[in-house]
Structure 1
Amino acid sequence: MAIPLPDGLATPVLVVDPDVLDRNISRMAEASRTRGFALRPHAKAHKCVQIADRQLQAGARGLSVATLGEAEAFARAGVDDLFIAYPVWPDADKAQRLRRLADDVALRVGVESVEGAQQLGKAVQGSARPVEVLVEVDSGSRRTGVQPLHAGEVGKAAADAGLNVGGVFTFPGHGYGHDAQARERAARDEERTLGEASQVLRDLGLDVRVVSGGSTPTVGQWQPGAVNELRPGVYVFNDATQLAIGTCGVEDLALCAVATVISVPAADRFVLDLGSKTLGSDRSSWVTGHGYLPQFPQGTVTSLWEHHAVVRLPEGVQGPRLGALVAVVPNHICTPVNLADELVVVRDREVIDRWQVTARGANT
């Protein structure tokens, strides 16, 4: 990552390198196209209309989102094909919102229980367009999703509730790991479980058109066959976790948080004016500290408060002066984006644009 930081930035702020961003988008679009997958990127990573437009122009079939609120935000911006990749439980308010959304866009929603399918069917009765559902399958993440053999129960309940059953989906979250073998195993688990669940639905006479999986860590491990749609998200920016597990290089990092050095209490330590309210507080076993420092790759963000980040340097490494700007790549990009009002776009030390985080805080 080599974003030349312009002078005069009000920090802390999230900065985007548009050339790296566009390269990441183009590379994923080309990989999906040449290997025969439909691409439906997960927009929770960026929540930004300008980035969604770039993905769609590069050939994405539509967007995936995590919440009804995100779907509404992108629908207002003109995106007309959306998949809420989440087992939404519609209360009275969400039912009304789902019906309005289904009137305006081609809408998919995730289901993973008989009760959830029945509740969703009641919620969208009377919508102008049919709502398509995909049955969520657990491929190893142990989060949400049914075991493949139980996909038929959920699919039949959805069909009986008047929903259009379109297929199955999963999230191979266990693909996060230090080695390519972990990603390989997760991709194969994904293909196996989705293939089994698809066959169960077909045996019931349901038309399985969409078999949806994929995540940024399993990029490069996908094989044509059982899966025909991919939903990676973080790839547009990448982050310190992706760098640590080897799914991207430093040159693929498209976003950083920029901070100002506000204190230099010792030769091996300095303090930045950003904290958990900018970076989020994600930690993982793959990442040392609270972020990656492109200008000080041997440094570690050892402590994080709401508005302070303490960085320690190895002996002999020259630190920055007071008032200097320092870039920090977040451990997990989705949270910092959701905390920001805008993304500042910088090229050649110049601010060339400011993009609103359209779906910021759209968490319901």
Structure 2
Amino acid sequence: MRPPTPFLSVDRSRVEANVRRVAGWAADRGLALRPHAKTHKSPDLAAMQLAHGAVGLTVATVGEAEVFADHGATDLFVAYPLWVDAERAGRLGDLAGRVRIAIGVESPEAAAQAGRALAGRPVDVLVEVDTGHHRTGVAAAEAGRVAEAALRAGLSVRGVFSFPGHSYAPQGRAAAARDEAVALAEAAAGVRALGLDPVVSGGSTPSLAHSDASALTEVRPGVYVFGDAQQWELGACTADEIALTCRATVVSRGPGRFVVDAGSKALGADRAPWATGFGRLLDDPEARVVQLSEHHAVVECSSPPPLGSTVRLVPNHVCNAVNLADRLWVTEHDRAEDPRAAQDQQWVSWAVAARGRKA
């Protein structure tokens, strides 16, 4: 029996198809796949990804790493330019005693600090490179200098990594992948000059299809596992590949519009400047969520559904929606149907175990 609305519904058959598809894509190109688990925060889904050939998991925080280590993951990369203080050093040291663990650094100062704080604990580092997103990371030409500082600090340098976040833009996916390939090739050359054989880690869900396998050794997409309205709008996934929706009940309706009981506290509030709404309807591609408050979503469409009916909303940014939920409700084939039939579906729940682990 399903939970009351609003809740996040996962179509297991679509999730597994997405996991298989991207695992096969990476294997065909000789690339290691290290999916970003901040998207789903679910040990159940992580186990599925690892069972289908992922070499390990990417996480955003030490807290997320701890959760996945507690649930059996053995190879984790915190893809974030950490400033390693004493508290995080202790936690990383504990992790290093039971899993293979790596973190990001982006400056000689951060590398030196990590070396002092970790004091010989077996934690690898990867140098973050800015390939065009202009958020964090060093210029490609500086990667060797940061790696050298890390070596001087007594750290083991695994390689270089990037996040081509400028792929989250219309017509930006292929260009971002090209930028990443060029910059990472230069960065990797700087690290090889130190006598190392670096891992070259990159990729994002929107840029994945355009990634240059000759420039990378590893890819770290995250959103591909579920899809969302942003990826749908960018062309990085199709409606048939969207595996997570927010089930919501119609509580008000009028000409050309209706309101459901899922607002920003269920869907998340992200809306990119180019996005055409705050979310979409999986079963009505022309409909858009045009207004969002905490517990209301206003949807414009040509044929509003009846009061009391259930709809499937596609969040703009699935990572944020998942972080707002305690559990994901999973059914083998999530179907659009009337509420009485939906009660007959078989549901199981997956804990969003890494929810809220921000530090």
TM-score normalised according to structure 1 size: 0.93
The yes-or-no answer on 1:334 pairing with 2:319 is yes
TM-score normalised according to structure 2 size: 0.94
CA-based RMSD: 1.3
Residue deviations 1:281-340 (CA, integer Å, cap 9, x gap):
000133211101123322221111111111122xxx221121111111000110010110
The yes-or-no answer on 1:320 pairing with 2:305 is yes
Aligned equivalent of 2:337: none
Residue of structure 2 aligned with 1:102, choices 80, 90, 96: 96
Aligned equivalent of 1:3: none
What percentage of residue pairs aligned between the two structures are identical? 51
Residue of structure 2 aligned with 1:119, choices 113, 118, 123: 113
Q: 1:293 touches 1:327 (CA, 8 Å); kept in 2?
A: yes
Residue of structure 2 aligned with 1:43, choices 31, 37, 40: 37
The yes-or-no answer on 1:156 pairing with 2:148 is yes
Secondary structure of the corresponding residue to residue 220 of structure 1: helix
Shift of 1:84: 0.3
Shift of 1:141: 0.3
Aligned equivalent of 2:182: 192
- Alpha-carbon distance in 2 for matches of 1:294, 1:155: 46
Shift of 1:113: 0.8
Q: 2:203 touches 2:219 (CA, 8 Å); kept in 1?
A: yes
Q: Which runs of 5 or more residues in structure 1 are unaligned?
A: 1-5
Q: 1:45 touches 1:334 (CA, 8 Å); kept in 2?
A: yes
Equivalent AA in structure 1 for residue 209 of structure 2? G
Shift of 1:352: 3.0
Aligned equivalent of 1:351: 346
Residue correspondence of structure 1 range 1-364 to structure 2 within 5 A = 9-127=3-121, 130-179=122-171, 182-205=172-195, 207-264=196-253, 266-313=254-301, 317-348=302-333, 349=342, 350-364=345-359
Shift of 1:126: 4.7
Residue deviations 1:72-116 (CA, integer Å, cap 9, x gap):
000000101000000111222212111111111100100001111
Q: 2:227 touches 2:237 (CA, 8 Å); kept in 1?
A: yes
Q: 1:344 touches 1:351 (CA, 8 Å); kept in 2?
A: no
Shift of 1:209: 2.8
- Alpha-carbon distance in 1 for matches of 2:213, 2:76: 23
Q: Which runs of 5 or more residues in structure 2 are unaligned?
A: 334-341
Secondary structure of the corresponding residue to residue 97 of structure 2: helix
Secondary structure of the corresponding residue to residue 345 of structure 1: strand
- Alpha-carbon distance in 1 for matches of 2:137, 2:93: 24
Q: 1:237 touches 1:333 (CA, 8 Å); kept in 2?
A: yes
Secondary structure of the corresponding residue to residue 250 of structure 2: strand
Equivalent AA in structure 1 for residue 177 of structure 2? A
Secondary structure of the corresponding residue to residue 216 of structure 1: coil
Q: 2:315 touches 2:321 (CA, 8 Å); kept in 1?
A: yes
Number of equivalences: 349
Q: 2:191 touches 2:198 (CA, 8 Å); kept in 1?
A: no
Q: 1:275 touches 1:307 (CA, 8 Å); kept in 2?
A: yes
Q: 1:118 touches 1:161 (CA, 8 Å); kept in 2?
A: yes
